[in-house]
Chain A
Amino acid sequence: MKLEVKNLTKEFNSVVAVNDINFSIEKNKTLGLLGPNGCGKTTSIGMMLGLIKPSSGNIFIDGKDINKSEKNLLLSLINFSSPYVELPKKLTVKQNLEVYGRLYGVKNLKLRIGEIASDLNLINYLNKKTGELSSGQKNRVSLAKSLINKPKLLFLDEPTASLDPDVGDFVRNYIEQYKKKNELTILLASHNMSEVDRLCDNVIMMKEGKIVDKGTCKELIEKHGRKNLEDTFLKIARSNNEVA
């Protein structure tokens, strides 16, 4: 699926959280959404998920405006994972996946749950309550929920935050492998620059609600004369605003 964001703006009581941003993600590509805390990443993702109403601008998914088209049809092809959004803790992993599978209208749900649980090493935890899992296990369950409907467009908000390096690497590896086998466009918001470097085809940098730079990781590193993406991020984050 192709995602296009045109002149997107969000104001909260005259405070501009997102200021006239424009970008697109081509089908099957991964875009990194970077920026310091409070730069408007979450608000932007919220608008793309239909949770926040834009003050102006449009979001197109495969050419269809999400705020004008049959929203639920588009939402059935999208999903989202974030460590800051949890699944009901008292339900088992299997029950949570079953509930969300039904909400997304997944066919052959039992098979799909088995498949995804096996891929994400969750088979042994299927009958455990989600609240009893470690953060690494919960993170994988959240990822399983976000892939239950085989989305064509996936929003990942810091998918490896608070994970140990081993689990973090497992998740990154899994996303890479999954993307190779499936048709999937990803928008990845992350503060882990090596993760962005590894997973993203393109990157946009946000600051104070605006997109201040964009390009491939390599292009940005070269443009700013830094050794790696982390240094590039720091340079952009600490510099005065200059819209690319």
Chain B
Amino acid sequence: MRWHKIYGLSLRHFYLIRSSLPRILDLIYWPSIQIFLWGFISKFFTLSSDYYNNTVGIILSAAILYDFLFRSSISYNMMFLEEIWSRNFTNLFIAPIKLSEIITALTITAIFRTLIGLVPAAILAIPLFGVSIFELGLPLLFLLISLYIFGVTLGLLVTSGLLRFGPSFENIAWASLFFLAPLGCIYYPIEILPEWLQIISKVLPLVHIFEEMRNILINEVINYYSILKSAMISFLYFIMGIIIFYLSHSGARERGTLINIGE
């Protein structure tokens, strides 16, 4: 792993973000809208029924964490798509960089893109709705790491699809997270799902992350085992994502699609 190459590749994306104010505003806009929307919906529930007490805090925290996952995955995909859109793919893949360096550069850079969007939204939630995600304390960091690993994994799987099927796979990039969201039990406890779906959803790290978030906020108890379990599951998916990415790259070399992927 050569860090100057990883830095070089990350620099390309930093320059891109820095060069355009609309691009930065776009990164901030969607997470903020998400916070506004869920904030007002849950405030309405709280005001309308005693049953929904403390809903604002839980729903908004879930919205912020889900958006963190969404943004990290989309950031990863976007950076890869930027290479396709700018028809820079051939230049990138003939440069003396290892696939592991490309994956590392995208993983590191995606966190900056994600935080640019999410930090303002998380801060906005404090004065607007009196909800601070930071109240989760140290476990928040572990939950975010777990979410980030899974987000990057989804990014890797989508980029593998882009390598395998070309830019037509782009739509899947946008849809991938919406597909997993119902199974992730982001806004509701796992018991809501039918039993057979519960079995499937437990294979995903999301359910463990969001269940633990609710556990911390409602019961004020931290279950580190649950956090560790979610991180381990995320990591397993990450390894699988890397293997699939390597296989897709090899398949793309076999089919000759690397040379004309942007055309």
Interface residues of chain A, those whose CB is within 8 Å of chain B, are 10, 12, 17, 42-43, 46, 49-53, 71-73, 75-76, 78-80, 82, 84-92, 95, 98-105, 129, 145
Given A51-B253, A51-B256, A90-B20, 16 more A-B residue pairs with CB atoms under 8 Å apart are A42-B259, A51-B94, A72-B96, A75-B94, A79-B94, A84-B263, A88-B16, A88-B82, A89-B86, A90-B15, A90-B16, A91-B12, A95-B11, A102-B7, A103-B9, A129-B19
* Cβ-defined contact, A72 with B98, below 8 A: yes
* Cβ-defined contact, B88 with A75, below 8 A: no
Is residue B95 within 8 Å, beta carbon to beta carbon, of the partner chain? yes
Complex CA–CA separation, A117 to B5 (angstroms): 22
A55 (CB) vs chain B CBs: closest residue: B254
* Cβ-defined contact, A87 with B19, below 8 A: no
Give chain B's interface secondary structure class.
helix
Tell me the minimal C-beta distance from B1 to chain A in angstroms: 12
* Cβ-defined contact, A85 with B5, below 8 A: no
Interface residues of chain B, those whose CB is within 8 Å of chain A, are 2, 4-5, 7-9, 11-12, 15-16, 19-20, 82, 86-91, 93-98, 250, 253-256, 258-259, 263
* Cβ-defined contact, A72 with B259, below 8 A: no
Complex CA–CA separation, A86 to B83 (angstroms): 10
B82 (CB) vs chain A CBs: closest residue: A88
* Cβ-defined contact, B94 with A99, below 8 A: no
A51 with B259: in contact, given A85-B91, A86-B88, A95-B15 (CB under 8 Å)?
yes
A51, A76, A84, A87: most-surrounded residue (chain B CB, <10 A)? A51
Tell me the minimal C-beta distance from A225 to chain B in angstroms: 37
Complex CA–CA separation, A100 to B255 (angstroms): 26
B256 (CB) vs chain A CBs: closest residue: A52
A selection of 27 A-B contacts at a CB cut-off of 8 Å is A10-B256, A17-B256, A42-B259, A43-B256, A46-B256, A51-B253, A51-B259, A52-B253, A53-B253, A73-B96, A79-B94, A85-B90, A88-B12, A88-B16, A88-B88, A90-B20, A92-B15, A95-B12, A98-B8, A100-B91, A102-B8, A102-B11, A103-B5, A103-B9, A103-B95, A103-B96, A104-B95
